[in-house]
Chains A and B, each alone.
Chain A
Amino acid sequence: MYELFINWIANTPGYAAPYALAALGLILCERAGVLNLTAEGIMLVGALSGIGATLILGGYPPVAIVIAMIMAALVSMLFATMTVLLRVNQVIAGLAMVFFCQGLTALLGNLFEWKNQPITGIGRIDIWPLSEIPVIGHVLFSQDMIVFLLIPIFYLVNRMLTRSMVGLRLRAVGESPEASDAAGINVTAYRFLTVMAGSALVGLAGAYISVASTKIWVDNVTAGRGWIALALVIFARWRPWRALLGALLFGAIESAMPRIAAAGIKVPQYFMLMLPYVVTLCVMIWVAWSKRGGATDEPGALGQPHVREERR
């Protein structure tokens, strides 16, 4: 039982990483006022590019992950063009992107025969001798590269968002594009580039799923995690560190699922698979319940296209 418990805790960060990274990317976009529903699709782009690049390069998963981030950012330019330049309804554009990416990745995965081809992927790194410390060593110092990078990435993005000029302007664009425009900030450029940067992080989350977790490409490998990440953003009230906390919660639930089954506790399999979605729903209800009538901390201009010519 004790073994199982340590094993569960040690595996949690690996399950939490995609949620955390995707939520961080979405927080960036939404802080700039772009309601980004594309996460599920962009994660798929990242996941397929990660596998494809690994197969073409014959290894080098870190390079493949970087390529996946670049591909995700490139594909997100289509979304950015639609929402930021062409002022299309952000919900419609986001949904269209998700289905575009689902179709595209399924088609390309098939045509290039990347489907069902196992890869080695990235493995665990033991930071010797710290990893030999009983209990903590296994949990904290024996993880893969991306998990080790999580804290630095979150620190940097959070610092950028809250303590830098770029971050201040980005948040200003999300709160009031009209005022930012009047203050001389290029709203279009800020939103466009933020969508690309945020999508690169979402792509990283997708690449993590395929290159580090499943190590294989199948259609819709992300299985709705993008939508859960979206709910996480609301739970986190658009703050990075809270998103990391929420991601760990979901990681813990997801990594507990196979272990409960292994421990011999009889729960119908499909109710188990329902659990992440049900928990997400419950968390959303709880957040809404606890903030009835109060402020939700939502960026002021979330989902509103900025049309300078319609300025009032």
Chain B
Amino acid sequence: MTASAVAKRRLRGVRLNLEVRRDISPWRQAAYLAGFIALGVCISGLILIWAGVPAGDLLDQFLVETISDGDNLRSVLFQGAPFILVGLSASVAFRARFWNLGLEGQMIWGGIGATFVSLHHIGPEALRLPLMIFAAAACAMLWVAIAGQLKLKLAVNEIISTLLMNYVALNFLYHLLYGPWRDASDGFPHSAKYADFERLPDIFGVSGALPLALVVTLLIWWLVGFTRFGFYMKFVQASDKVAGAVGIPVGRITLASVLLSGALAGIAGFIVASGQEGRLIQNFSDGYLFSGILIAFLSRNNPIVAAIVAMLVAMLFISGQSLQVFYQIPFAMVQLIQAIIVICVAASEFLIRHRIHIVR
């Protein structure tokens, strides 16, 4: 008998036994989570190095440059606002067991609603900004209400319907920008610029979008944590059947959450449109869908954690932009890194939920 045959037999003798954990200490849970996030970051780093970023510059690009440089920091602080809102939007819908994958379409409708108010000069100047925000929220709510009603009344799968509606909204945006809303002053396919009083004002040199988003975060935190509505949502999330059996109006709770989710995404759309270019441009909503889902998933639908994760995503987003400028790395890299981190965190949940025994 050769040595390798013995080794094989011994290997066959080893068996992996899985056991579902009954509980796990929070420290160990955090350790697993941190370990897998670190793994994801390492994989992303290796891909970046392979794509041509010098290894020594990585930390510099992602941490030092984004925080120390004044312009970059301002961009991060602004960019955090729409990410917070889409993250909250996704998590509010997920809490009501509704997979809202139409965040980008709702953002587009938010942008369209706000721009409509701007183009038609609706309302006095002093009230214009609140009106635009209101129009953004209302349009996005109407858009998501279609998918919400289809799910509640006809059990149409909302994963597919909301996703398809993104494409419909995007093509409608193109129709507007290449048609009636094309900027008459320069002929480019974007809408006319908003007036100064139609854009969010700066507060202490930082865009007013972030304070707005933080206020919304606190409101949502209060709503889901301290109100009857939030209490009902917890029931619906745990089991919609049981919730219905104990007399909770499941349909109304779901619809209200879905509408709230749509409104948040719509406001995010307005913030991106007004904060970046001050007008509607073609692909302003690109990439927010997955970021929103990622933020909701990583924060486990907790609003305060979502705001923190959103700021980290904003840092990644801004670093991605500078990588594009300095190393010609396509912006899709940002999406790839986000996906790798989601995959790693999802994998870590396996170890958090199961214990692996090696049986000899």
Contacts and interface: CB of A to CB of B under 8 A. Distances in A.
A107 B154 contact: no
A281 B165 contact: yes
A65 to B, nearest CB: 24
Given A82-B346, A88-B346, A288-B155, A103 B160 contact: no
- Main secondary structure, interface of B, reads helix
B72 to A, nearest CB: 22
B101 interface: yes
Interface in A75-103: 78, 82, 86-89, 91-93, 95-97, 99-100, 102-103
B171 to A, nearest CB: 4
A288 B154 contact: yes
A128 interface: no
A285 B151 CA distance: 10
A103 B155 CA distance: 32
A241 interface: no
A252 interface: no
Task: Bin chain B's interface residue count.
Answer: 35 or more
Contacts of B163: 224, 227
A107 B150 contact: no
Contacts of A281: 161, 164-165, 168
Interface in B124-170: 150, 154-157, 159-161, 163-165, 167-168
A106 B294 CA distance: 20
Nearest to B341: A96
B322 interface: no
Nearest to A284: B156
B36 to A, nearest CB: 11
A181 to B, nearest CB: 14
A124 to B, nearest CB: 30
A268 B165 contact: no
Contacts of B156: 284-285, 288
B159 A277 contact: no
A273 interface: yes
B175 A95 contact: no
A309 interface: yes
A271 interface: yes
B93 to A, nearest CB: 12
A97 B342 CA distance: 9
B332 A284 contact: no
B349 A277 contact: no
A307 B350 CA distance: 11
B343 interface: yes
A278 B165 CA distance: 8
Contacts of A97: 339, 343
A99 B161 contact: no
B3 to A, nearest CB: 30
Interface stretch (A54-62, A208-216, A228-236, A257-265): A228-236
Contacts of B334: 103
Nearest to B332: A106
Given A103-B336, A284-B160, A270 B346 contact: no
A104 interface: yes
**Most interface-central of B164, B297, B340 (chain A CB within 10 A):** B164
Contacts of A219: 330, 332
B317 interface: no
Interface string A98-116: 0110111011001100000
Given A92-B346, A107-B51, A227-B160, A274 B20 contact: no
Given A103-B336, A309-B18, A309-B19, A93 B160 contact: no
A104 B165 CA distance: 25
B339 A103 contact: yes
A250 to B, nearest CB: 12
Contacts of B157: 234, 284
Interface string B267-293: 000000000000000000000001001
Interface of A: 37, 78, 82, 86-89, 91-93, 95-97, 99-100, 102-104, 106-107, 110-111, 219, 224, 227-228, 230-231, 234, 268-271, 273-274, 277-278, 280-281, 284-285, 288-289, 292, 307-310
19 contacts: A86-B350, A88-B350, A92-B297, A103-B332, A103-B334, A103-B336, A106-B330, A107-B47, A111-B52, A231-B164, A268-B179, A270-B171, A270-B174, A270-B175, A278-B168, A284-B156, A284-B160, A292-B154, A310-B20
Interface of B: 18-20, 47, 51-52, 99, 101, 150, 154-157, 159-161, 163-165, 167-168, 171-172, 174-175, 178-179, 290, 293, 297, 329-330, 332-340, 342-343, 346-347, 349-350, 353-354
Given A99-B338, A234-B157, 6 more contacts: A97-B343, A99-B290, A99-B336, A103-B336, A107-B47, A227-B164
